[in-house]
Each structure stands twice: as structure tokens, then as C-alpha cells.
Chain A
Amino acid sequence: MNFISLTYALFLGAVFLLYWRLPRRGQSLLILIASYVFYGWWDYRFCALIFISSIIDFSVGLALGRKFERRTRRALLAISLVANLGMLGFFKYFDFFRENLAQLGSAVGWHMDGVTLDIILPVGISFYTFQTMSYTIDVYRGHLKPTSAFVDYMAYVSFFPQLVAGPIERATSLLPQFLSERSFDLSEARDGLRRILWGVAKKLILADNLAVIVELVYGNPGAYSETKLVFATVCFAFQIYCDFSAYSDIAIGTAQLFGIKLMRNFAYPYFSQSVAEFWRRWHISLSTWFRDYVFIPLGGSRGKRRTMIVSMLITFVISGLWHGASWNFVIWGAINGLLIVPSALQKNPRRLTVKDVPGGESYFPSVWVALKIGLTFGFICLGWVFFRAETLQDAWSMVVRMLSFWSWTGGGETLNAGVSSRIMSMLLVVFVAVEWMQRREVHALCRLERWPMWTRWLLYTLILWLGIAVQPVRVGDFIYFQF
């Protein structure tokens, strides 16, 4: 079920009304049923995967709660990891690894005629497997007591707002919320609706319209001048941000309606002053997941600097692969890993975190800060080329052409995207300005409560109808569904 549909609006309304009439256990059961209906709307067969994954981790969690010796506990953890990563590996990476092995084999003279299974990737598999694995790992590490509340646990894994594209919640944060009484909080619910509206606006007004331009240029990059390649890359940077952060906003806003708090997933990443800061502000739930479960176990930042750099690179490469079974994603991960190295080598760096105001406190940034923000955005865009390009060759030739400023030609050609590039550029400027002004808040519509009701409602109505009016013919799926 797509968030941007009448189906979801009706579904959400019905679940909301029923939810607050039920006792705590009934609420969790309702969330569980609603989540499976939500997921089954795409393909009911894949509900079995979430169920299997949840059952395995629930059982492993319970077993880890008993006093076994270390070896047994490790074996139990291994069952969970093998089952979840095995499922992920099969559905997401089987064809990729088979093709690459076959190519490698033929390069050394071995002909491997394996089968290509053309496996359909279940929506959101990378998200819920990571979420359920984090539960088992936390129980194994002793950070969390295993739960015996089956329905609450199942609801935690399948919680529909964040099931298919995150935020990837930790059991330590989300599970206790399902295990305790929830009460309706009017201001949270209102803020939730505002956040949903802001997400819908970002998706319909910006992401889906930018997608048309990006698809046109990235579908045939050889046909476009360097300026158009740069323009399309900037468009993609905002497309993916508006698309993914819109999903997160709608997910978090929906959860607020049910009295559940999800973690923040984006904190104005494009106002970051370094690539390292960008990764503290972008897809925060995944970045922190990789930090806690991959980077730190690999050595983290405690050991030697060389170990830290190697761990960092490995983490970013794995993170790239997590996004998709393609070399493009691996290289995208590696590029970001390499771009972070300078920050890691700095002695006593002043680390800007999510809690800092992005871009600094002052209303207008200093030239130096603006330069750093611009440069960071440029580096991030460089990575996005590999993320979005259809093939590695396309990505490489685009990067080479875009970086060869001295030989740029043309640029006068028109983009027959059905959407005016000029209008989209103007909308982007407005969007960046709004985000800049609101960057102290969690989301752009956060502080509207202070406005008189009629002006608020007028603004909401305008945003809603602008979104409806300018959306393309067919609302696209969220980009991160494919991961």
C-alpha cells in the first residue's frame, strides 16, 4: 500500500479510530493485523517472510534469555544472522553473485552455466530483516531483556508505518513502547498530521516531478550536455532526499497518531559542512545501525587510526551493498567511505552532530560555512551519480564529463520532461529556503501551532492542493522500497 493514495488515507483513518477504542494488547494485535494487510496489499505471499523472520528472532531471543554457556549463545545468534542474512542474500543478492561468479569464472576459463532465478525482491526486506536482527543482537549483548509477549514483538517487527522503508527502529526503543500503555496525546497527534502533510507535499511537489527530469537525462546521458548532466544530478540529489525524507516524515507522523515515537531519520543533511556530518544527518537510523553493529565490532574508532579507516571503508562498502545488488552501489559506498577519511584523520575535530543547528546558528551563513556546505553538497552529488546511473560506464563517463569544466559544450537543449525545468528550479529554491529557515525544528511545519487556526488551515489546504495539482500522472513508488 502506497502512503500517497486514497487507500492509505482510508486505511489509516479506520485503524486510528479502532485503535484508540482497544486496550493495550488489543492495540498491538490491531497493529499486527493492519501491518500484514498493509504489506500484503503489494503481494500477500511475502507476508510469510516477515512472519518467518519474526518467529526465528522471537524464539532465538527467548532462548538467549536462558542461562546458556557462551558457545551456545553464539550458536543461537548465528541462527538468527544466518536466517535473516540468508533470506536477504537469496532474495536480493542471489542473481548478482551468480552473475559475477560466472563472469569471474569465464575470465579464468571456467564456464559456469548457472540458473538465473529472476527473483522478485520483496518490498522492504532490507529494513525489516535489519530491525529484527537488531533485537537478537541486543538481547545477545545483554542490552535488552527478551520479551515473551509474542503479539507485541510481532507488532514491533511489522509496525506498518516504518515496515518497508524505515526508520529502522531498535528494539530497545520501539519494543518497550508496544509493551507499555499508550495514551492519546493531542499535540503529538496534531504534529503527526502536519508531518504527514509535509511528507506528502515533498513527495508530490518535488520528488515525483524531479524524477521525470532525472529519468530523462539518466536514461540517455550521452544525449545531454554537461550542464544538463549537472542539473539532473542536482535534481536527483533533491529527488532522493525529498522522496526518502517524505517517507520518513509520513512514517513518523503516522506513528505519532498511535502514540508511538519513532527515531528521527533526517536532520537537514544538505546543510552539512562535511561528508562525515552529512552521514550523521542522512538516513540516521541506518547510519547508526551500521555504526553499532558493523563499524564498532570491526574496531570502531577506539583502536589505531589505520584500523579505524579500514573499518570505516568496510562499513561504507557494506552499506552500499545493502542499498542494492549492483556494483554501482558498492562504488557509491566506497566513494563515501573515502570522502569521510579526511575527517577521520583530523586531530581533535569539532564534530557537528544532529543536535547542532545545521549550517550554524546565524541567520545567514558566513562565506566559509557556505563554501563548506557547497563543497560537501558537491561531493555528495558525485556519489549520487554512481547511485543513480544505469551502469558503471554511464556513471564514470558522466563524472568525467561533468568534472571537465573546460570542455563543457552546449547546454541550450530543452528537456522534454513534461515539467518545466525553470519551475522546478524555482520550487527547489523555495524548498531550500523553507528548510533553512526551519532548520532548528524537527520538520518544516513544526511550529505552526502558534499561528491562528484559519491561517494554518489555509496553508494546509494550499499545500495539499498544490501537491495534488502538480503531481505527475502516476505517483511513483518511494525510491527506498526497492531496497
Chain B
Amino acid sequence: MRNFILRTLLFFAIQVLVCAVLYIAGRGDESEDRHYLSSLIDKHERLDSMSRPRLIFVGGSSLMFGINSEHIEKATGRATVNMGVNAALGLDFILSDIEPKISSDDLVVLSLEYGFFLKDIAQPPSLWHALGIAPHNILAMGPSKIPWIMDNGLYPIRQLARHPFTGRPEMNDLYSRNNINERGDIVSRPERYNIEIKAPVSAEESNSARRQAVSRIVLFRERVAKQGAKVIVLYPYLPKSHIKVRGDFYKSVHLALGEEGFSIVGTPAEASLKDEYFYDSNYHLTTEGAAIRTKRIVAQLKPVIRSMSEQTH
């Protein structure tokens, strides 16, 4: 028995050694740095160096592909950063990542994809990449994420095993770190459909997932409030065809957030545009679509910022 256990441990030690060798062999590859998820590093640098109070947009790629932060900054007079990268990082990571960085009088605009209210949409490739950049978030995400990390723990090992032979997959220019400006917005994008937007599937509502997501956002609001900042909710923009099909679900999210007393600006139905303003995803706006959304956001945020300034003075 003792012999068996020792031999098994020795075998696993060899595998750890193989892991280490693969890790060393894969170091120095810059493709990881060029990946658009690595823009999180730049976004955090900007967040740290900005003048306060700040306007911070928090969400997924609907923000990165959906607003013009420079325009918002000019119009509102607040230093602005767009922290949106990818919804597949999951709600826990996205909120945990920003929580410790909030300071007094910041205005945090939550624009969260609806998928967060349906299920845990964290995907191994995105989340593991982001955890590689910000490993401290493993602790910040809390014990509820431990099963996910363990269940998906093979993914980073898989990447280690593949890397020396295949390299990291290169993303196209659209999804590269170079295509994201200093405020966190996409710089250039196709101005017409790349692919046909698929017809939306009618969603099976998931009460428990919605409850979980809402309670996590409530916790975020409480933590942010302790630091003297304010949170408001703006909905991500969707094609009008989606609103028609899944309108009831979006409304249920709206009601659930309303019941928790969130400051919500607008409704899901208002946060929509014609289908032709979107391209490779239901959440990714064309330049024209982003301009319309930005204009609307400015109009929605100005009174909020004004009232915050009045309260401060």
C-alpha cells in the first residue's frame, strides 16, 4: 500500500515536472500579450492614473464595442474608462476585478449582458487568460468560484501542453490589444455585417441564476457604496429583433434589479437599435451604432453626474 502511494505520488511529481518544462518552453511568446483580453492591463493602468472622480463603465464586450469613451469624457467632464472586455469572464471576475479600485465619488456604470442573469457564462479560455493577468482575483471571487476553477482546471494545463507545438492562437486584427484605445474602446471595426446575426432563441428563464446574479450585484453595490462611490445600471444594446423575442426575460431582469432599488437609467426596450447597427454578435455595435448609443448615454448620464456634483458641494 505504502509502496503504491509513493509510486503514484512519484508519477504525479513527474507530471508536475513535465508541466514546469512546458511552462518554461512556452515563456516569451508575445501572442498572449497581443490578445485583446490583455487590454485589461492597459485598462487598469488607465484606471489607476486617471484624475478623480472617475466615470467607470463595467460590463462585457457590449461596452468595448458599444461606446465612445472619449466623447463621453468630453461631454460629461469626467475622466472615463471603459473596463468592458468580455462577458465570458463571468460576473464574479468582472465585479471582483474592479471592486478594490473604486474610490470616493466615482460613478460606476454597470452595463451587464443579459446572459449573466441566465447562467454562469464564464468560459475557461477567457477566464483563465484573465486570471493569468490578475491572479489575485481568484481569491477576490470568493469560495463560490472554487468548484468552477477546479472543474475547469484542466484548461490551463491543456494550453501549456499545446503551446510549444502550436503556439497560442492568434486573434484577427479586430480582436487584438492594438485595436483598443487608451480608454478601453475598440478603435476600428467592420462597418457592415461580417456574419448573419442568428435568430434569437427563446430563453428559458432561470430564476435561481437571476437571483444569484442580482445578489452578487447588490453585494458589489454595497462594497462600492462603502468607498463613497455610486452605481447606476444602463442596459447593453441589443437588436430590436431580440427584444421582440426575449422581451419578457429582459423585463424580468429589469424588475428584479428595480426591486433591489438600483438606479436604472432607461429600460431594456429603450436600449435597442435596428439589427443593421450590429455585426459579429448581438452585442457588438458598428461605429454608427456606438455613436448613437454614446449620444444617448451622455444624455442619460449628465443629470446623474450633475446631481452627484451638487451633493458633493
Residue of B nearest to A453 (CB): B7
Rounded to whole Å, the gap between the CB of B86 and the closest CB of chain A is: 14
- The listed residue (A6, A186, A193, A468) touching B161 by CB distance below 8 A is A468
Interface residues of A in 267-301 (CB under 8 A from B): none
Interface residues of B in 250-278 (CB under 8 A from A): none
A465 CB contacts on chain B under 8 angstroms: 18, 161
- The listed residue (B8, B157, B165, B204) touching A118 by CB distance below 8 A is B204
* Cβ-based interface call for A475 (8 A): yes
> Bound state CA distance, A212 and B135, in angstroms?
31
Once the chains bind, are B1 and A464 in contact (CB under 8 Å)?
no
Secondary structure class of chain B's binding surface, majority of residues = helix
Interface residues of B in 138-161 (CB under 8 A from A): 147, 150-155, 157-158, 161
> Bound state CA distance, A471 and B1, in angstroms?
33
- The listed residue (A17, A186, A471) touching B154 by CB distance below 8 A is A471
Once the chains bind, are B150 and A10 in contact (CB under 8 Å)?
yes
B18 CB contacts on chain A under 8 angstroms: 461, 465
Counting residue pairs across A and B whose Cβ atoms lie within 8 Å, the total is 57
Rounded to whole Å, the gap between the CB of B212 and the closest CB of chain A is: 14
Once the chains bind, are A189 and B4 in contact (CB under 8 Å)?
yes
Once the chains bind, are A6 and B147 in contact (CB under 8 Å)?
no
Rounded to whole Å, the gap between the CB of A243 and the closest CB of chain B is: 17
Interface residues of B in 153-197 (CB under 8 A from A): 153-155, 157-158, 161-162, 165
* Cβ-based interface call for A52 (8 A): no
* Cβ-based interface call for A7 (8 A): yes
* Cβ-based interface call for A400 (8 A): no
Once the chains bind, are A469 and B165 in contact (CB under 8 Å)?
yes
Interface residues of A in 303-358 (CB under 8 A from B): none
Interface residues of A in 156-208 (CB under 8 A from B): 184, 186, 189-190, 193
Once the chains bind, are A473 and B155 in contact (CB under 8 Å)?
yes
Residue of A nearest to B204 (CB): A118
* Cβ-based interface call for B312 (8 A): no
- The listed residue (B14, B15, B150, B162) touching A7 by CB distance below 8 A is B150
Once the chains bind, are B15 and A461 in contact (CB under 8 Å)?
yes
Known: A457-B11, A469-B162. A6 touches B1 (CB 8 A): no
Once the chains bind, are A469 and B161 in contact (CB under 8 Å)?
yes
> Bound state CA distance, A334 and B11, in angstroms?
48
Residue of B nearest to A465 (CB): B161
Rounded to whole Å, the gap between the CB of B177 and the closest CB of chain A is: 21
Known: A5-B150, A6-B153, A6-B154. A460 touches B11 (CB 8 A): yes
* Cβ-based interface call for A66 (8 A): no
A2 CB contacts on chain B under 8 angstroms: 151
Most buried by B among A6, A17, A457, A464: A6
0/1 string, B33-76, CB within 8 A of A gives 1 = 00000000000000000000000000000000000000000000
Rounded to whole Å, the gap between the CB of A51 and the closest CB of chain B is: 22
* Cβ-based interface call for A41 (8 A): yes
Known: A189-B4, A461-B14. A7 touches B147 (CB 8 A): yes
* Cβ-based interface call for A474 (8 A): yes
Interface residues of B in 85-105 (CB under 8 A from A): none
* Cβ-based interface call for A436 (8 A): no
Interface residues of A in 1-35 (CB under 8 A from B): 1-2, 4-7, 10, 17, 20
Once the chains bind, are A468 and B147 in contact (CB under 8 Å)?
no
Rounded to whole Å, the gap between the CB of B127 and the closest CB of chain A is: 12
Known: A5-B150, A186-B4, A189-B4. A468 touches B158 (CB 8 A): yes
B165 CB contacts on chain A under 8 angstroms: 469
B311 CB contacts on chain A under 8 angstroms: none
- The listed residue (B3, B124, B152, B204) touching A186 by CB distance below 8 A is B3
- The listed residue (B5, B151, B158) touching A471 by CB distance below 8 A is B158
Residue of B nearest to A118 (CB): B204
* Cβ-based interface call for B125 (8 A): yes
Once the chains bind, are A6 and B8 in contact (CB under 8 Å)?
no
Rounded to whole Å, the gap between the CB of B88 and the closest CB of chain A is: 11
Rounded to whole Å, the gap between the CB of A85 and the closest CB of chain B is: 27
Rounded to whole Å, the gap between the CB of A189 and the closest CB of chain B is: 6
Residue of B nearest to A464 (CB): B15
> Bound state CA distance, A143 and B147, in angstroms?
43
Interface residues of A in 429-483 (CB under 8 A from B): 457, 460-461, 464-465, 468-469, 471, 473-475
> Bound state CA distance, A287 and B15, in angstroms?
39
0/1 string, B2-39, CB within 8 A of A gives 1 = 01110010010011001000000000000000000000
B157 CB contacts on chain A under 8 angstroms: 468
> Bound state CA distance, A469 and B162, in angstroms?
5
> Bound state CA distance, A136 and B67, in angstroms?
65
B14 CB contacts on chain A under 8 angstroms: 457, 461
B4 CB contacts on chain A under 8 angstroms: 184, 186, 189-190
Once the chains bind, are A468 and B154 in contact (CB under 8 Å)?
yes
A474 CB contacts on chain B under 8 angstroms: 123-124, 152, 155
- The listed residue (B11, B150, B154) touching A4 by CB distance below 8 A is B154
Once the chains bind, are B11 and A17 in contact (CB under 8 Å)?
no
A461 CB contacts on chain B under 8 angstroms: 14-15, 18
> Bound state CA distance, A68 and B246, in angstroms?
59
A41 CB contacts on chain B under 8 angstroms: 147
> Bound state CA distance, A473 and B154, in angstroms?
9
> Bound state CA distance, A22 and B153, in angstroms?
30
Once the chains bind, are A5 and B154 in contact (CB under 8 Å)?
yes
Rounded to whole Å, the gap between the CB of B168 and the closest CB of chain A is: 13
A5 CB contacts on chain B under 8 angstroms: 150-154
B5 CB contacts on chain A under 8 angstroms: 17
B161 CB contacts on chain A under 8 angstroms: 465, 468-469
Most buried by A among B8, B150, B155, B157: B150
- The listed residue (A7, A184, A186) touching B151 by CB distance below 8 A is A7
> Bound state CA distance, A193 and B11, in angstroms?
11
Known: A469-B162, A471-B158. A184 touches B1 (CB 8 A): yes
A475 CB contacts on chain B under 8 angstroms: 154
17 contacts between A and B (CB under 8 A): A5-B154, A6-B150, A6-B151, A6-B153, A7-B147, A7-B153, A20-B1, A186-B1, A190-B4, A461-B14, A461-B15, A464-B15, A465-B161, A468-B161, A469-B165, A473-B124, A474-B152
With A5-B151, A10-B150, A468-B154 given, can you name 5 additional A-B contacts, CB distance below 8 Å?
Answer: A7-B153, A186-B1, A186-B3, A468-B158, A473-B123
Cβ-closest 7 pairs across A and B: A6-B153, A469-B161, A7-B150, A468-B161, A5-B151, A184-B1, A469-B162
